[in-house]
Amino acid sequence: MLYTVLTLFPGISDAYFSNSIMAKALEKGLIGYKAINIRDFATDKHHSCDDAPYGGGAGMLMLAEPLGRALEAAGAVAGRKNRPERRVIYLSPSGKPLDQALARELSEEKELILICGRYEGIDQRIIDIYVDDEISVGDYVLSSGEVAALVLIDATYRLMEQVIKAESLEEESFDSPLLEYPQYTRPVEYASLMVPEVLLSGHHEKIRRWRLEKRVEKTLDLRPDLIRLGEERSLFNEEVRKIIQEKRDERAQSN
């Protein structure tokens, strides 16, 4: 996978790709990265990349011309004919939500060209001509499209083969309609709180069951909408369905 980031501030993504697991993935050749500075494609002496929007309104809008030239330099093709070689994504609060299923889909692409917006956004004609997907990382507004792009990158690169051990990805939140169970490490006692005894027992079946019950409890507490989704789509096996009902009965009795 090659990540091509179109940005006014390449230092933001450069720093991310030079640290931690991402830097190791780059070094091993598991992924590729290049940043394209949109200002390099502005033609005036000030390297202007924004102007006031037609029709009035607050703020400035990113200009179509330098951004279009930057996209062409990145290999984007006008007319939304970029697939299957590459996929052009504009990070936007009005885009479709990024979830685990979409992250997994994107992780299988050969190249992602990510447009990092600024100010009030970008000229609609760039979206009409080049963009394959508008994607939002959440129902909130950021001042930096770079931050949103890094969220998308982080959610996708970790799903690629050999980047992270496969067992580390098992039972993660959002890979099923259940959140991940609580986890503990040394010491056994911290601030008068003890590691649950079952995790020290060495009994694999009891540990598996405890973790499953905790996943159900946590999801019922924090994301009951995921439980409803799993039930509506018949995504739970008999064991999980039984635990859900038991936890609901317990809560009903305590109220």
pLDDT at residue 143 above 60?
yes
The answer to whether the peptide bond before residue 84 is cis (omega within 30 degrees of 0) is: yes
Q: What is the pLDDT of residues 161-215, one digit of tens each?
A: 888 766 665 655 566 789 999 999 999 999 999 999 999 999 999 999 999 999 9
How far is the CA of 42 from the CAs of 46, 68, 70, 145, in angstroms?
Answer: 8, 10, 9, 19
Task: Tell me what pLDDT residue 254 has.
Answer: 87
Give the pLDDT band of residue 104 (cuts 50, 70, 90). Answer: very high
Residue type (1 letter), 57: G
Task: Tell me what pLDDT residue 22 has.
Answer: 94
Q: What is the pLDDT of residues 109-141, one digit of tens each?
A: 999 999 999 989 999 999 999 999 999 999 999
Residue 69's region, left for phi above 0, alpha for psi from -120 to 50, else beta, is: alpha
Task: Tell me what pLDDT residue 83 has.
Answer: 81
Cα 5 off chain centre by: 15
Task: Tell me what pLDDT residue 166 has.
Answer: 62
d(CA 238, CA 249): 17
Task: Tell me what pLDDT residue 137 has.
Answer: 97
d(CA 96, CA 134): 6
Neighbours of 156 (CB within 10 A): 23
Tell me if 218 sits within 8 A of 176, measured CB to CB.
Answer: no
d(CA 39, CA 35): 12
Which pair of tokens denotes residue 231?
A: 């039930």
Task: Look over the chain and give the mean of its residue pLDDT values, rounded to a whole number.
Answer: 93
Task: Tell me what pLDDT residue 161 has.
Answer: 85
DSSP code at position 141: -
- Of 42-51, 71-80, 109-118, 161-170, the one with minimum mean pLDDT is 161-170
247 HSE (CA, 13 A, CB side): 19
Place of tokens 């490490």: 185
The CA-based angle 239-240-242, given to 5 degrees, is 65
d(CA 32, CA 177): 32
Name every residue whose Cβ is closer than 8 Å to that of residue 211 and which is 6 or more positions away in sequence.
171, 181
Q: What is the pLDDT of residues 206-244, one digit of tens each?
A: 999 999 999 999 999 999 999 999 999 999 999 999 999
